[in-house]
Structure 1
């Protein structure tokens, strides 16, 4: 029964070359490794209403095909997909597809060669017949004998016919040689395709209604793995004299490399952070939760200097102390000015010189006690959180990306955005003052993590990275180091154990961080941002109270006035965590001359524990 069915199917098989039909769309996936979903649409005009099944074989698909989806639509009548599968032609134990079946171009070339050969044969036969007739005249074998003058005319015409015949045959020989070369090239192409694109998709369909099917379309989608891609951005800033334009252009690009074996020509390109395997929409399920007893002699020891115990008070910045807790490791992060040999910033060139922000590292205050055994996982850690919804973008135009293993920087869209220009300094890390561009993403695109190259008047001046997709997205790009503004930083501490009641066994230390700014320009400058941070307690036995800037500890957002033309606020731009991470900044308008900005905080900790400052990565 299987054999007869296979025979019946083989009598109604149609082969379609995938490389002869353009790709409709490509979607690039990024999660779980890069992959691409290719969508093709094949027109079917050979269907007929009958009970007998028909087979459509789509050949010359990439070897890296992972999975295949097939669907069919028709303008009239009902068409049903009975079965579909994909396989490698090299793995099938049967003779290969004949080239005359596998290539429409080769069939046309073979037909043209036969036509030229027939024409050459007819011309040769006709001249042979004429030659025989002239021989008979010369031997006086014909019934009517022409006059001498007629014989001369006949021979002259015979010579002209011979010359024309030779030229025509020579031209035919040239055409036959060209056709033979094209047939050889097409055969070599097919041979290469059979090795580079060895996969075929077989679809068994049936027209189940009595209505004739005039036309139908078979849509085939498949996932391939021989692809890599990543987002890339070009930020273009134009200068008018010495003033940058407030409107900038952000080119959203995608660096694509593909070696699938098939060229992506005139395609619609989409980019997504979704997983090509898992469903994008999943119904959540409640989790099983167990409650166990913790041994009385064990207390949780944090393993991360920035991970605060669940019962540690967030209000420590406001000066609310907590009860002592025994046998706990005490961790507290702090920001300090520490000189590292060989790491001091060198003298800088004028403002036109480029300089990127060097990576800053917070300083950590570590108080060590005897080790304690870590507890079992808490209940809150057992509750899983769904990942964020995937981000998908579609390029605005059709693209061409050949299979050449090269990096193609294709344009997804060009965005016009507003920019704000300012000077920024982080004196606890680097005393250099950076001239900076801050761009807020107000477009419909969520910018994916990637590298942003900044161009000032079409000259590349710096590069930065987008790390997160949280809104609002703000890009900070350094343009140059402004040597017209100088910055100096100093940090000092003063231990005052006598100010704390002796029965508490605690010592209080006051830290003062001072930043001196000097504006060497003859004119005032606006919007100088000075970023800093204060330590956060990682143990309830440590209390930190922010004294200056005055009033900043009492607010969660907004700003407080430090003095005329200068305010302080929690630093939340560019994905910074602000008060939660102890990050704050001053924003000042500076007249020519010197300004001093001061931060003061108090640290209260047990006297018998030593505070050791270390730079953390």
Structure 2
């Protein structure tokens, strides 16, 4: 559809600053943010030009949207980018730094003046002492007791004042040096924030009203880059006297960082799990042809590599970039009122959004700002795990069921066990209703020894001979705690990849018919006994009484043709 603009003069022109427009909300994604501003304008009869100047330097021009209420018509929305003076596009933060820099420079100038004053005093004092007795060169200076006393007093005074003045000069030099460092640091910060920001970005609206004094309410929305959020967690567990029935308290944080060129002041923040950069297009599959492999012909001895010439495109500095963002549309007083939904967490078709409970201010700078999304208390059960082949430490693990309405996205977690920091780990992604394991750190009161493996090798069969190797692994575990513990030992049992390789587990005896899917959906302690998990590894759970020491034996055999050599490759 082509929009034909009416040929009539502009009745009024209004210039607004983006930072002065009220912020309705900020929705932060993992790689950008959507800014919504709302404002009211008063129009004259006819066409009115409203220019919103100095929008974010990292604005995505194709994302600009305008909506409104009132008896008027939107004819056109344009994005304009043009060269600008630096003071026109500086953010409030940069302006504060510029003012701070001026204060440093003024202070440095004052200290320099004082230093110069004391330097002049020192010169005058040296001149007075040097020229003493030269006022009447023809007179004969008589040395007597009074003369000697006067000279001593003069030189003592000179020495005392010399030391005082030089100490004061050194003090001023030290202060000036510190201020020079502050000036350099502030200059660097200003230059960093001003980098690549030499363009004035504006949104031009062409609105029409039927009569003078028409008031309309507008909502401006656009996306900006250089903004993101990532989740993090504080996890606190009190073990108490029991290993089950404990509560796991999670503080859910959003870490927001934005350097978009606009400060977000006192705004409603919404954190979204949507990923706009991935797009919404379903990838297409071509035809997969199966054909015989034909090796490519060898390259010639002297292959001449063609030279590719690329033309460098450059945008003229004086050129204005103008995008027509919207076709003409009308809005009137009968337009439906937009409602703001109040929620803590809302699950949409493609994403989940979190609304931060309090309004926040996030300046445009490189620092990270932490906000609290929610706190939750989940039921957890504790058990111990050890993988002695790789690490003989016993790890305390909390099995947790996410009974909250919040999905736990992938993020770093600080673990606190019984009010003491234990470890850092990663959590997520875990959605509502899913079970997850939260590692709580190493417990030194569970001792584990992993003995060297003992192997027996022999030849079997008269006609169809085969090699047989028996592997026996001894593991010694000891509980030095005052309470009994449930400990699961994880150990490799090789998995055959060929029918000629036969593997048999002798000890421990494995429970048949384990439902692994059911185990992953229920919150319960592991059953005492041995099982093979989905990766064909042994999970042997035992109950250790207080001060109990036990020797465990894992024994398996592998049979294979004697002409073959067996190798073991660990795959994840």
Note whether the superposition's TM-score is higher than 0.5.
Answer: yes
Counterparts of 1:198-209 in structure 2, within 5 Å, are: 198-207=200-209
> Aligned residue for 1:603?
558
Superimposed CA distance per residue, residues 236-269 of structure 1 (whole angstroms, 9 cap, x where no aligned partner): 2346589898222211112222222322223333
| Of 407, 414, 423, the match for 1:453 | 414
Closer, same or farther in 2 for the Cα pair 1:14/1:426, shift >3 Å?
Answer: same
Match of 1:567 among 510, 515, 529: 529
Structure 1 residues 583 and 231 mapped into 2: Cα distance closer, same or farther (>3 Å)? Answer: farther
Question: Is the alpha carbon distance of 1:91 and 1:604 closer, same or farther for their aligned partners in structure 2, counting shifts above 3 Å?
Answer: farther
Shift, 1:524, TM fit: 4.8
CA separation in 1, counterparts of 2:498 and 2:477?
Answer: 35
**Does 2:80 align with 1:87?**
yes
Equivalent position to 1:594, from 549, 560, 563: 549
Q: 1:495 to 1:237 in 2, by over 3 A?
A: closer
**Kept in 2: contact 1:62–1:196 (CA 8 A):** no
Corresponding residue of 1:426: 387
Alignment correspondent of 1:27: 27
2:220 is aligned to 220
Q: Determine if the alignment matches structure 1 residue 8 to structure 2 residue 9.
A: yes
1:47 maps onto 2:49 in alignment = no
1:585: which partner in 2? Answer: 539
Deviation at 1:463, TM superposition (A): 0.7
Alignment of 1:440-589 (within 5 A): 440-466=401-427, 468-469=429-430, 472-483=434-445, 485-490=446-451, 492=453, 494-499=455-460, 502-503=463-464, 506-521=466-481, 523-539=482-498, 541-552=500-511, 555-557=514-516, 566-570=528-532, 578-579=533-534, 581-589=535-543
Deviation at 1:479? 3.9
SS of match in other structure, 1:611: coil
Instruction: Decide whether the 8 Å contact of 1:533 with 1:584 is kept in 2.
Output: yes
**What displacement does 1:556 show?**
4.4
- Superposition map of 1:188-199 within 5 A: 198-199=200-201
- 1:415 and 2:376 equivalent? yes
User: Separation in 2 of the partners of 1:465 and 1:610?
Assistant: 40
Pick closer, same or farther for the CA change 1:229–1:454 going to 2, 3 Å: same
- The match for 1:322 is none
Q: Deviations over 1:439-484 (max 9, x none)?
A: 332222221111110123543221111254477241422244232x
Match of 1:77 among 64, 71, 74: 71
Asked whether 1:67 is paired with 2:61, we answer yes
Question: How many residue pairs are counted as aligned between the two chains?
Answer: 399
Contact 1:66 1:225 in 2 (8 A): yes
| Distance (Å, rounded) in 1 between the aligned partners of 2:267 and 2:215 | 24
Shift of 1:54: 2.4
Deviation at 1:274, TM superposition (A): 3.3
Taking the aligned partners of 1:549 and 1:205, their CA distance within structure 2 comes to 81
Q: SS state of the match for residue 407, structure 1?
A: strand
Report the CA distance between 1:205 and its aligned residue.
Answer: 2.8
Aligned to 2:51: 57
Separation of aligned partners in 2, 1:615 and 1:481: 27
Q: 1:37 aligns with which of 28, 34, 37?
A: 34
SS, match of residue 234 in structure 1: strand
Q: Secondary structure at the match of 1:19?
A: helix
Matching residue of 1:288:
287
CA 1:546 to 1:21, structure 2 compared with 1: closer, same or farther past 3 Å?
farther
Counterpart position of 1:255: 255
Task: Tell me the distance in 2 between the aligned counterparts of 1:197 and 1:25.
Answer: 26
Q: Is the 8 A contact 2:72 2:207 kept in 1?
A: no
Task: Give the superposition deviation at 1:276.
Answer: 2.2
- Residues of 2 paired with 1:584 and 1:196: CA distance? 64
SS at match of 1:446: coil
* CA root-mean-square deviation: 4.0
Please report how far the alpha carbon of residue 525 of structure 1 lies from its aligned counterpart in structure 2 after TM superposition: 0.6
Distance 1:257 1:71 in 2: 24
TM-score (norm 1): 0.56
CA-CA distance at 1:508 after TM superposition:
3.0
Q: 1:420 to 1:243 in 2, by over 3 A?
A: closer
SS of the residue corresponding to residue 63 of structure 1 reads: coil
Alpha-carbon distance in structure 2 between the residues aligned to 1:496 and 1:12: 97
Question: How far, CA to CA, are the matches of 1:543 and 1:402 in structure 2?
Answer: 65
Q: 1:277 to 1:616 in 2, by over 3 A?
A: closer
Look up the SS of the partner of 1:274 in the other structure: coil
The worse-fitting range, judged by mean Cα deviation, of 527-536 and 268-277 is 268-277
Q: CA deviation at 1:538?
A: 4.5
Change beyond 3 A, Cα 1:8–1:426? same
- Residue 161 of structure 1 corresponds to which residue in structure 2? none
1:385 equivalent in structure 2: none
1:279-428 pair list within 5 angstroms: 279-280=279-280, 282=281, 287-293=286-292, 390=351, 392-428=353-389
Unaligned runs of 5+ in 2: 90-193, 295-348, 520-525
Deviations 1:157-203 (A, max 9, x none): xxxxxxxxxxxxxxxxxxxxxxxxxxxxxxxxxxx9x9688321112
